[in-house]
Amino acid sequence: MNARRLFSSGAGLASEVRTALADWVRSGGMSWLHVLKTVAAALLAMGLAMRLELPAPRTAMVTVFIVMQPQTGMVLAKSFYRFAGTVVGAVVTVALTAVFGQVPELFLLSIALWIGVCTFGAALNRNFRSYGFVLAGYTTALIGIPALAHPDGVFLSAMTRLSEVSMGILCAATISALVFPQRVADTVRDTVRARYTRFAQFVTDTLSRGRHHENAREVHTRFAADVVSLEALTSVAVFEDWGTRMRAGRMARLNTEFMNVSTRFRALQQWLGRIQAQGGAAVVDAIDACLRDVPPLLAKPDNEPIGSAADAAHAVSQLQAFRGSLPKRLSLSRARLEHLPDATPLEFDTAAELLERFVDEMHSYTETYASLAVDSHKRELSTKRFVSKTNLVAGGVAGLRAAVALLSSAGLWYETAWTSGAGAVLNTAVNSALVGTMPQPAAAASQMAWGTLVAAIVAVTVLFGVYPNIDGYVLLCVVLAPVLMFGVYITTRPGGMGFGLGYCISLCVLAGPDNAMNYNIEGVINDGLALVASMMIVTVASAVIFPPARPWLRKRLLRDLLDQVVAACTGGLPRARLHLESRTRDLVHQLNGLSTEEPAFQAAAASWMFTVLDVGHAVIELRSELAIHPEAWQGTEGACRCVLDSLALLFDAPTAANLTAAREAVDAAVSAVREASQTKRASPDARARFQRMSGYLHFIRVTLAELPSPSNADAHDWLEAFLARR
């Protein structure tokens, strides 16, 4: 009996230990794995560089700390762009040295301008492609400034740096790929599967609850953010996984189709809610008769939720059949509504058009998702990639900020003839470019400055208190591992990336071992002061020169958000929907990054994102109808064109007069289209087209009616800042 109890308690204890260990691995264990892999890769790069007698093994170590990421695909992607940026920077350095090598002032000015241009390019791009521009910029300073004293050796310096960077890249990629690899491709597959399942479940739950979902706005806002994050993950997963690379086109298309269907479902849900609130029960019941059949379509034959891409094949065929029968069902419902005294056919036409569009786009989204089950598919040939949107003024300011910081540091060096001034200029170039594209560059630069200060103290201790007392590579690794692990661990903590990165880079620069050590306490202190001073210059420049955290950038981005409706009214039609969806979401994603501690502003930005998407989609559908059958709209085309012009003017210059003019133009167009549909000459097909047109116009009319006037003094501050051009 005692033995049985002892065995039972032992088994229970073992189970608890396993559970606790699994929880630790999922939380802190992965962070420590990243720490150990990063430090191992850095020490390996250092040892190989010393073995090959490269001049600066510390460069290989710094490269590891910069490119190392928790997942292998991120390491490979960042390594690719670091190598490409280094090559471009080396070529530009050789060219600038050939032209300005004999005039240091012009050489430093040309480097500052080049770094400004590259920082501007980095601001216009996303993900690790942006980092490639950063590297192309500051590599010119890292190679060119030390070569000022001997311009004839710049080519050898460029080749040497390229070798050292390549060594760090090789070690980081090898350790990441071979030692407990964490694959981005697996994350992408899980994210795509979870997003489809979550959206299908959201549609089912919403329709089952009578279109009321307690967290509908939060869910749709999260869906919008998912698009941007999945685009970032896919852009790096192609570097590590052949299957993801073969499906890259479909992944891009899947993201685009998800944007369309989620926007359409939200608009349908909101429209029916409006009708219900206004007492249009007959219209709602007619649409609900069709909506009730949608949830069973989004399930497997056994009514279980769809999980993998292979499971979605059945849903594709069901949606296809439902889509084919839907127009006839809606036509019959509309005919019955015409005989009811309290029914409003115009409200029904708008709801019916939204429903048809939602079903059509849900079918496309499901079909693309199902195609992921095979390696090759015809949908791979039709690529619709996410298009980001960056404010050119904001990118120009980031470039100006980096150039001014570098020139300030170079001016300090030039005027004082400081022996470590070149190091200050180098570090200014590197860090001004690194933080220039961050949402909060001043805060990031300040964190890196503190990390640099701590690294300088640790470096003096290691250099003069430890190095003289050890011998050999093994002991060197034993000494460096703990101090490096501290910095890498800090980068894994919330808010610690700037401090940890500044610490690791500065520690390698100051205390990184060379093949021939030079123990010069005065030089090390000077170099440490130079690093700290450079970080202070970058911090001040980031805080003074148009800091992104100030309202000016938010107003610029909000202005760009309004301009998406203008582009939908006047831009090219073939890619108008893709540009509207992706650029609008990208702008709101940037606004959220600038207002992390302002949930009210984020909620306001999300509300206006939905407004822009609603109006933009209706405008694009209206333009598409006009473009398909231009001869069919004689007598109404002028009124519809007037709507497009007035909307473009309203969102370009929001005033009370323009808002009134836009509302009047939409009212006139609705009347013109309805009159044309009721003429005896109109064929059944023409009447169906006129019904669609009147639905789009009525949707725009209701949306405009809900907008407060720009001159309304009682409007919220965010609305006033959003609508008023300043």
**DSSP track, 322-391:** HHHHHHHHHHHHHHHHTT-TT--HHHHHHHHHHHHHHHHHHHHHHHHHHHTTSS--GGGGS---------
d(CA 263, CA 83): 40
Q: What is the dihedral of CA 514, 515, 521, 527, to 10 degrees?
A: -30
d(CA 583, CA 469): 59
* First-to-final CA distance of the chain: 84
d(CA 372, CA 378): 11
Distances (CA, A) of 354 to 274, 348, 401, 672, 698: 14, 10, 47, 21, 12
d(CA 240, CA 248): 12
The pLDDT, as a whole number, for residue 306 is: 85
Residue 78 makes CB contacts below 8 A (sequence gap 6+) with 66, 67, 69, 128, 131, 236
Angle at 165 between CA 162 and CA 167, to 5 degrees: 110
d(CA 405, CA 597): 28
Q: 């240091």: which residue's tokens?
A: 104
Is residue 310 within a helix (H) or strand (E), and if so which, with residue range? none
Handedness of CA 376, 382, 386, 389 (dihedral sign): positive
Q: What is the dihedral of CA 385, 391, 392, 398, to 10 degrees?
A: -110
- Using only C-alpha atoms, the chain has a radius of gyration, in whole angstroms, of 30
> Comparing C-alpha atoms, which of 473, 482, 441, 475 is closest to residue 593?
441
- Specify which residues 305 forms β-bridges with: 299
Residue 628 makes CB contacts below 8 A (sequence gap 6+) with none
- Specify which residues 299 forms β-bridges with: 305
d(CA 161, CA 154): 10
The pLDDT, as a whole number, for residue 720 is: 47
Helix, strand, or coil here: 305?
strand
Is residue 109 within a helix (H) or strand (E), and if so which, with residue range? helix 104-124
d(CA 84, CA 656): 51
Q: Do 195 and 203 touch, CB atoms closer than 8 A? A: no
d(CA 193, CA 372): 10
- 635-638, Cβ contacts within 8 angstroms, sequence gap of 24 or more: 635/672, 635/676, 636/669, 636/672, 636/673, 636/676, 636/690, 636/693
Amino acid at 380: E
> Comparing C-alpha atoms, which of 223, 258, 285, 320 is closest to residue 588?
223
Angle at 238 between CA 45 and CA 388, to 5 degrees: 105
Residue 465 makes CB contacts below 8 A (sequence gap 6+) with none
Domains along the chain?
A: 21-183+389-544 (no CATH), 186-239+248-374 (1.20.58), 551-723 (no CATH)
Phi, psi of 268 (to 5 degrees): -65, -45
How many C-beta atoms lie closer than 10 Å to residue 639's C-beta? 20
Residue 314 makes CB contacts below 8 A (sequence gap 6+) with 300, 301
- 3-state secondary structure string across 653-682: CCCHHHHHHHHHHHHHHHHHHHHHHCCCCC
Is residue 492 within a helix (H) or strand (E), and if so which, with residue range? none
Is residue 211 within a helix (H) or strand (E), and if so which, with residue range? none
Residue 332 makes CB contacts below 8 A (sequence gap 6+) with none
Q: 């690093």: which residue's tokens?
A: 531
Average pLDDT of each block of 10 consecutive residues along the chain (726 residues)? Answer: 54 59 62 90 92 87 87 85 87 88 83 83 78 81 77 83 89 89 85 89 79 66 79 80 82 87 88 80 82 86 83 89 88 76 73 89 91 83 71 76 80 77 77 71 83 89 87 89 91 85 87 78 82 84 70 79 90 86 86 77 81 89 80 71 90 83 89 74 68 83 78 41 40
* Helix (H), strand (E) counts: the chain: 27, 0
User: How is residue 144 written in tokens?
Assistant: 């060119």
DSSP string, 25-55: IIIIIHHHHHHHHHHHHHHHHHHHHHHTT-S
Helices 154-178 and 72-100, interaxial angle, to 10°? 180
Q: Do 141 and 426 touch, CB atoms closer than 8 A? A: yes
Residue 411 makes CB contacts below 8 A (sequence gap 6+) with none
The pLDDT, as a whole number, for residue 524 is: 82
Q: Which pTM value belongs to this model?
A: 0.81
Residue 341: burial class (beta carbons within 10 Å; 0-12, 13-18, 19+): exposed
Q: Do 441 and 399 touch, CB atoms closer than 8 A? A: no
d(CA 50, CA 513): 9
d(CA 241, CA 49): 29
Largest CA distance in the chain: 102
Residue 648: burial class (beta carbons within 10 Å; 0-12, 13-18, 19+): buried
Residue 34: burial class (beta carbons within 10 Å; 0-12, 13-18, 19+): buried
The pLDDT, as a whole number, for residue 80 is: 87
d(CA 651, CA 567): 10
d(CA 57, CA 517): 12
